[in-house]
A = this chain, B = another copy of it.
Amino acid sequence: MSDAISSLSHLDCPKCAAVQPADAIAHLCSCGSPLLARYDLARAGATLTRDALSTRAWDLWRYAELLPIRDPVRNAVKLGETVTPIVPLANVGKTVGIAMLSVKDEGTLPTGSFKARGAAVGLSRARELGVTQFAMPTNGNAGGAWAAYGRRAGMRAHLVMPKGAPLIHRHECAAVGATLTFVDGVLADAGARCAQIVRDTGIYDASTLREPYRIEGKKTLGFEIAEQGGWRVPDVILYPTGGGVGMIGIAKALHELIEIGLIADRLPRMVAVQSAGCAPIVRAFEAGARESKFWNDAKTVAYGITVPKALGDFLVLNAVYESGGCAIAVEDDEIVQTRKRVAESEGMILCLEGAATIAAAAQLRASGWIRDGERVLAINTASGLKGDLTASAP
């Protein structure tokens, strides 16, 4: 892989088009928007070829040209980020009328969730830029991943968590020696406390989209989907949308692959799936808006998508609009029932967020939005075994 060198060129703002240098620590644009990493795509495309990929290790680092780490040998923080499998759901697909329904199972990543992608790449780049400690608010899987990769990077992790966060996440963060602060309230309250810590101490702020590299990790989800499909993308991708970084990442990845000619110039229709108890993106989509509004009293069994107002909402909506996709909400009951149905008919225990995407696929097929014969891929963002399975208890 000696020819696989990052082609990172600069950062830019998707809102006001301001440009910043890439090789210094950066957070939000002065206009308040997240910044995005940009690459010299001509240079990347010269070495990131199908042939070159055929000899590289089967992990997310194989797309090195389009990752931001300049010296992976020294700085890559690794815990075993193997390309995640795509598993057909033939029985469920038959029931709902989608013959080619599959799920990409992110639960097989280290720490049991897709958050490993953002943590691996985000912290590798942070280490490269000299960061030695960071702070972030978390409700769950992100905390577990960033705590583990943070420890792996030799950094000190400061995590701020609502007191009500699921115990397993407290435990996994504590086990790797993260510093935990508990707050009353919900994730937004944890975010406020985290912002205070960052202001008071100057610690690196690793909150969602407040640094530009977490999304570069999530982007590998898109690279993998394209490559695993033989450089042909699905017709529809369903993504459980909280902060939406994975959705933004998939769209960004596919644009980059189109640009370097690895896939055709056609995006899958991107579907943002939310819970009816917290559906700001869906409400914005239905109004044809470019941004979402804060969702009051957000509450759903699908913890991971309880985000009342995402910093990157406009990027999620943009991915939906430009791809001819949609946003759809599903009821909590339907999420729980779908998880049960998938487990009992496929032998696969999805996380609740993943189950929401299957419930959404069924609705979209019933309404005709998903057409006969289309290839549909749902993202299962975490291992179902990290969630509460007591409802299944005998």
Contact = CB atoms under 8 A, between A and B. Distances in A.
Interface in A310-354: 340, 343-349
A83 interface: yes
A104 to B, nearest CB: 9
Interface centre among A86, A151, A168 (most CB of B within 10 A): A151
A160 to B, nearest CB: 13
Contacts of A392: 171-172, 174-175
B343 A177 contact: yes
Interface stretch (A105-113, A208-216, A284-292): A105-113
A151 B346 contact: yes
B79 A59 contact: no
Interface string A65-85: 000000000000011111111
A180 interface: yes
A24 interface: no
Contacts of A109: 108
Contact of A85 (B82, B112, B167, B172): B82
A110 B112 contact: no
Interface residues of A, number: 54
A176 B344 contact: yes
A149 interface: yes
A385 B168 contact: yes
A394 interface: yes
A105 B84 CA distance: 14
A305 B203 CA distance: 43
B349 A172 contact: yes
A58 B349 CA distance: 22
Given A79-B87, A347-B79, A348-B148, A389 B172 contact: yes
Given A148-B348, A349-B148, A394-B180, A82 B54 contact: no
A106 to B, nearest CB: 10
B85 A170 contact: no
Contacts of A38: none
Contacts of A148: 347-349
A296 interface: no
A386 interface: yes
B79 A348 contact: yes
A31 interface: no
Contacts of A110: 85, 105, 108, 348
A390 B347 CA distance: 28
A171 to B, nearest CB: 4
Contact of A167 (B54, B83, B393): B393
A101 B363 CA distance: 50
A170 B385 CA distance: 12
17 contacts: A79-B85, A79-B348, A80-B84, A80-B108, A82-B108, A110-B348, A112-B112, A112-B383, A150-B347, A151-B344, A151-B347, A167-B393, A170-B393, A170-B394, A171-B392, A172-B392, A175-B340
Given A111-B385, A151-B343, A171-B390, 8 more contacts: A54-B54, A108-B108, A108-B109, A110-B348, A151-B347, A153-B347, A167-B390, A172-B385
